[in-house]
Structure 1
Amino acid sequence: MASVAALLSVGALRPAPAAAATPPVAAPHATAAVLDLDRPGRTPEVHGTDSAYDTASIVKVDILATLLLQAQDAGRGLTAEERGHAEPMIERSDNTAANALWRQIGQASGLAAANKRLGLSSTTGGPGVKWGLTRTTASDQIRLLRAVFDGGTAAKPGSPVLNAASRAYIRTLMGQVIPEQTWGVSAAGGSGSPRVLKNGWLQRNTSGLWDVNSVGQVTVKGHRYLVAVLSNGSASMSDGVSLVERTARQAVA
């Protein structure tokens, strides 16, 4: 007992330190933007903070729009090889096809030049070959969807940048997405609403959390809505899909 008392007096025996607190995990976050094409006005409603998110595969719509705009400038249509990349890139979200077209459009600099004409002001192309790390906002995605579905742009309202054939081509491919990839903003449409959309999903290497995004057009009670939902921080892809669909339904409602 005397020995124990002596050790305690000089601090040789101390209670074990408390375990360090586990840092809090950021909650999943989502932002939605909605534009009713069948009502006057062309200002989207934004639900949540309109901050920038990584695009994952929704950028493939922007890549295709850029490719088509470059082809228009050259006075030509797409080649068979370009169509052979564009169609699986949108319909099946094929990454190899996206890699090829990302290189062809000039990567981030080519995307930026097209986006300036399309009216996008808050989208930055991913570094190098990493097109999936392009950063964008929900309101910018509505601007891109307007250029595809409505023909208008923020830069020149009523003056389409993409011609009618280019717009129809993108819409057609977005309407032919394989069934297992038709989740997302389509949840906001009625049961008979066409599924015209493009989704993106990406698991982060550092945190293991998921970015899940969806953009497209839905029809509700005879009104055509452009809808963009961007999210991050979900624990699983299925959680992210549920968050995106719930956010889309609430935003359109």
Structure 2
Amino acid sequence: MITRSDNDAAVRLWKYVGPVRMQAFLDLAGLRDTVLSPDGFGLTQVTAADELRQLDVYTTDPDVLTPEHKAYGLRLMAEVEADQRWGTPFGAPPGVTVHVKNGWLQRATHGWRVHSLGVFTGPTRVYRIAVLTDDDPTESYGIGTVQRVSRRIHRVLAEQAGEDLGRTLPGTPDVTAPETGDGSVPAVGER
């Protein structure tokens, strides 16, 4: 859990924890469809269902983390820096606290992969959203897709809860991403 993306720190953590302990955590959390990559965290294969199970660890699953660890993780996710708070928070209604974790990776195959996970906590409810994309032509396109999907989900949930739809945040999806990949393909403008 981080407040700003830091691949160097993630690599250090990946090496420190190691695949055996990482797999033990996945098993404990019930992430049956996640396949760890031997080449590093960014290439791990995951499903949206498993990402929701991961978010359950911070919301409804009492067996994986202590209440203190849950609160710590959610606090960090609520403090993600403004330029990385895109994705599932888009369209969230006022009155909920937004907890977000985003990931993005450009690869020679499947274009940009842009993922966003969100936990939304309020006085009367808690809900989770996981949106995963691949084959995006640009990072901005992926972010825009995630945000359009998220806005619709928030709107439907607000309708189901009988909330005033005028209270949901308006706006246009952010499509101004820096388009910086992992180096496996040339950056936009270098082709």
Cα–Cα, structure 1 residues 220 and 163, in superposed 2: closer, same or farther, change >3 Å?
Answer: closer
Q: What SS does structure 2 have at the residue aligned with 1:140?
A: helix
Query: In the aligned structure 1, how far is the partner of 2:121 from the partner of 2:24?
Result: 32
CA contact (8 A) 1:212 1:232 kept: yes
CA distance in 2, matches of 1:185, 1:177: 13
Whether 2:11 is the aligned partner of 1:109: answer: no
Aligned counterpart, 1:175: 78
Residues in 1 aligned to 2:121 and 2:76: alpha-carbon distance in whole angstroms: 18
Q: Does 2:93 match 1:190?
A: yes
SS of the residue 1:177 aligns to: coil
Extract unaligned runs of 5+ from structure 1: 1-60, 62-89, 153-158
Secondary structure of the residue that 1:195 maps to in structure 2? strand
Q: Determine which of 112, 121, 125 is the counterpart of 1:210.
A: 112
8 Å contact from structure 2 (residues 37, 44) kept in 1: yes
3-state secondary structure, aligned to 2:100: strand
1:133 corresponds in structure 2 to: 43
Note closer, same or farther for the CA distance 1:165–1:222 as it changes in structure 2 (3 Å cut). Answer: closer
- Residue 226 (str. 1) matches residue 138 (str. 2): no
Give the Å deviation of 1:246. 1.1
Aligned residues: 155
1:221 CA drift (Å): 9.7
- The whole-number CA distance in structure 2 between the counterparts of 1:218 and 1:96 is 28
The alpha-carbon deviation at position 219 of structure 1 amounts to 5.1
Residue in structure 2 matched with residue 99 of structure 1 by the alignment: 11
Bigger Rg, structure 1 or 2: 1
In the TM superposition, what whole-angstrom CA distance separates every residue of 1:185-237 from its partner, at most 9, and x where no partner exists? 00141145333110001111346x21000001125895321110000111111
- RMSD across aligned C-alpha pairs, in angstroms? 1.9
* In structure 1, C-alpha distance between the alignment counterparts of 2:91 and 2:20, rounded to whole Å: 34
Q: How does 1:64-103 map to 2 (within 5 A)?
A: 90-103=2-15
* Partners of 1:219 and 1:110 in 2: CA distance: 30
CA separation of 1:195 and 1:96: change in aligned 2, threshold 3 A: same
Identical amino acids, percent of aligned pairs = 36
Q: Which residue of 2 aligns with 1:69?
A: none
CA positional deviation for 1:104: 1.0
2-structure distance, mates of 1:187, 1:223: 18
Letter in 2 for 1:109: V
Give the TM-score normalised by structure 2: 0.74
User: Does the CA contact (< 8 Å) of 2:97 and 2:122 recur in 1?
Assistant: no
1:221 and 1:250, CA in 2 relative to 1: closer, same or farther beyond 3 A?
farther
- Using CA pairs below 8 Å that are at least 6 residues apart, which structure has the higher relative contact order? 1
- Contact 1:188 / 1:218 at 8 angstroms: preserved in 2? no
Alignment of 1:26-37 (within 5 A): none
Give the counterpart letter for 2:132 in structure 1.
L
1:163 and 2:163 aligned: no
Runs of 4 or more, structure 1, over 2 Å off, are 191-195, 218-224, 249-252
TM-score by length of 1: 0.57
